[in-house]
């Protein structure tokens, strides 16, 4: 069964899907994206993902490519055509196609839109949850608007590659004061010695992850306190638990950082409880 992508108004075979060479996403990384989980045949937290898309587009003054209800129809149809029950959809909106010029194209230039969908390997995810993952720390070398979910991900790709070459799966960004920011494609959490869930405030140099936001609802249900504050690398290394969150993985326990064992080297009970409670709490939209 061939994969199908939605590209600027048409459903096409994934292998034949193309965008124009002067698309501003291609030339200037002038675009934004969302990744949203699909589990047990429903879309998870769609409203929050589309609200964040709206914010990202607004911050960069990129026009919606179509109305929000129309986009939801396209997302559903793309998922249906790809028979996704457990996986994700990816959507990308760019400022459109125009002769190369740094300034914005003329008003009325249509935004470009691509939606893809794929099933994910559930056994690989289960393995990471059972064993935990390894991370490295890296200096943050990104621009200061990482609150916008822009497709300009070269520093993130470099950091992930660095992690891979060190035998790890995630790179954790550290600010100039030695405080933890977030992962290359995840938010970072610790369980401190009072049993609180701690994560960096989203106003300061990180992306406001949707999983991060929904985790607040999960914590309320579990009766766990969330504290949004800065925490240092030293505190993270001594934390009871460390885990990372993203729409693609809910939460993966971290058991090693920079080659040193953290959290006794075993996945903790808090990340497991959160993972188990997450789906019930999250918003579910039928495909
Ligand atoms: N990344 N921080 C960064 C830098 C991210 O790229 C992501 C998501 C997150 C977590 O956000 P959310 O919970 O909304 O997925 C935090 C996606 C999955 C990606 O780039 O593939």
Please indicate whether residue 212, judged by its CB atom, sits closer than 6 Å to ligand 1: yes
Q: pLDDT at residue 63 above 90?
A: yes
Pocket flag, ligand 1, residue 248 (CB < 6 Å): yes
Query: Using one digit for the tens of pLDDT, what is the confidence trace for 5-39?
Result: 999 999 999 999 999 999 999 999 999 999 999 99
The stretch 59-67 carries a mean pLDDT of 98
Coil, strand or helix at 277: helix
CATH number of the domain where residue 47 is located: 3.30.470.10
Q: For 188-208, what is the mean pLDDT?
A: 96
| Per-residue confidence (pLDDT) for residue 1, from 0 to 100 | 80
Element at 6 (helix H, strand E): strand 4-7
Tell me whether residue 108 is in a domain: yes
92 lines ligand 1 (CB under 6 A): no
- CA separation, residue 95 to residues 5, 69, 105, 107, 169 (Å): 19, 20, 8, 10, 32
Residues 160 and 103 in one domain: no
Q: What is the pLDDT of residue 201?
A: 98
CB-based burial of residue 166 (10 Å sphere; 0-12 exposed, 13-18 middle, 19+ buried)?
A: middle
pLDDT the model gives residue 204: 84
Q: Are residues 262 and 129 in the same domain?
A: yes
CATH number where 169 lies: 3.20.10.10
Query: How would you classify the pairing of strands 133-139 and 197-199?
Result: unpaired
Distance from the alpha carbon of residue 184 to the mean position of ligand 1, in angstroms: 8
Read off the pLDDT band of 271 (50, 70, 90).
very high
Q: Are residues 73 and 200 in the same domain?
A: no
Task: Identify which of 35, 53, 89, 210 to mutate to test ligand 1's pocket (most ligand atoms within 8 A of the CB).
Answer: 35
Q: Tens digits of per-residue pLDDT, 171-180?
A: 999 999 999 9
CA of residue 234 to ligand 1 center, whole Å: 24
pLDDT digit string, tens, across residues 112-133: 999 999 999 999 999 999 999 9
Choosing from 43, 218, 247, 274 the residue with most ligand 1 atoms within 8 A of its CB, the one to mutate for a pocket test is 247
> Which of residues 88, 104, 120 is at a domain's end?
120
Among residues 90, 120, 150, which one ends one of the domains?
A: 120
Burial class (CB in 10 A: 0-12, 13-18, 19+), 5: buried
- The answer on pLDDT for 249 being more than 90 is no
Within a domain: residue 287?
Answer: no
249 lines ligand 1 (CB under 6 A): no
On whether both 49 and 149 belong to a single domain, the answer is no
Burial (CB < 10 A; 0-12, 13-18, 19+), residue 86, is middle
Considering the domain boundaries, does residue 153 fall inside one?
Answer: yes
User: Mean of the pLDDT values across residues 133-158?
Assistant: 98
203-246: pLDDT as tens digits: 989 999 999 999 999 999 999 999 999 999 999 999 999 999 99
Structural domain containing residue 77: 4-120
Predicted model pTM: 0.97
Which of 77, 104, 120 is at the close of a domain?
Answer: 120
Q: Is 149 a catalytic residue?
A: yes
For the residues 136-145, what does the mean pLDDT come to?
97
The band of 252, judged by pLDDT with boundaries at 50, 70 and 90, is: very high
Answer whether residue 274 shows pLDDT above 90: yes
Is there an atom of ligand 1 within 6 Å of 48 CB? no
**Looking at residue 61, what is its pLDDT?**
98
Q: Give me the catalytic one of 127, 128, 134, 149.
A: 149
Do 17 and 82 lie in one domain? The reply is yes
Report the nearest-CA residue for atom 3 of ligand 1.
185
Residue 273 in this model has a pLDDT that exceeds 90:
yes
Whether 76 and 129 share a structural domain: no
Tokens of 201: 């405030």
Percent over 70 (pLDDT), the chain: 100
CA of 247, closest atom in ligand 1: 15
């Amino acid at each position: 069964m061939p994969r199908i992508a939605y590209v600027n108004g048409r459903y096409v075979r994934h292998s034949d899907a193309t965008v124009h060479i002067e698309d501003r996403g291609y030339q200037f990384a002038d675009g934004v994206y969302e990744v949203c989980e699909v589990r047990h045949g429903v879309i998870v937290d769609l409203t929050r993902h589309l609200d964040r898309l709206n914010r990202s587009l607004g911050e960069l003054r990129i026009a919606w490519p179509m109305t929000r209800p129309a986009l939801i129809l396209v997302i559903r149809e793309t998922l249906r055509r790809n028979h996704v029950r457990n996986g994700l959809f990816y959507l990308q909106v760019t400022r459109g196609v125009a002769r190369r010029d740094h300034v914005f194209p003329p008003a009325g230039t249509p935004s470009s839109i691509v939606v893809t969908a794929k099933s994910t390997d559930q056994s690989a995810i289960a393995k990471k949850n059972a064993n935990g993952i390894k991370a490295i720390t890296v200096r943050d070398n990104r621009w200061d608007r990482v609150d916008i979910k822009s497709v300009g991900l070269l520093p993130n790709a470099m950091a992930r590659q660095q992690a891979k070459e060190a035998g790890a799966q995630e790179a954790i960004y550290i600010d100039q004061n030695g405080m933890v920011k977030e992962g290359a494609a995840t938010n970072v959490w610790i369980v401190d010695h009072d049993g609180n869930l701690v994560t960096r405030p989203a106003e300061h140099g990180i992306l406001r992850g949707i999983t991060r936001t929904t985790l607040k609802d999960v914590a309320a249900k579990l009766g766990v306190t969330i504290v949004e504050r800065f925490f240092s690398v030293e505190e993270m290394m001594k934390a009871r638990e460390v885990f990372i969150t993203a729409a693609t993985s809910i939460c993966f326990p971290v058991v090693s950082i920079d080659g040193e064992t953290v959290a006794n080297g075993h996945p903790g009970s808090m990340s497991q409880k959160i993972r188990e409670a997450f789906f019930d709490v999250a918003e579910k939209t039928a495909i």
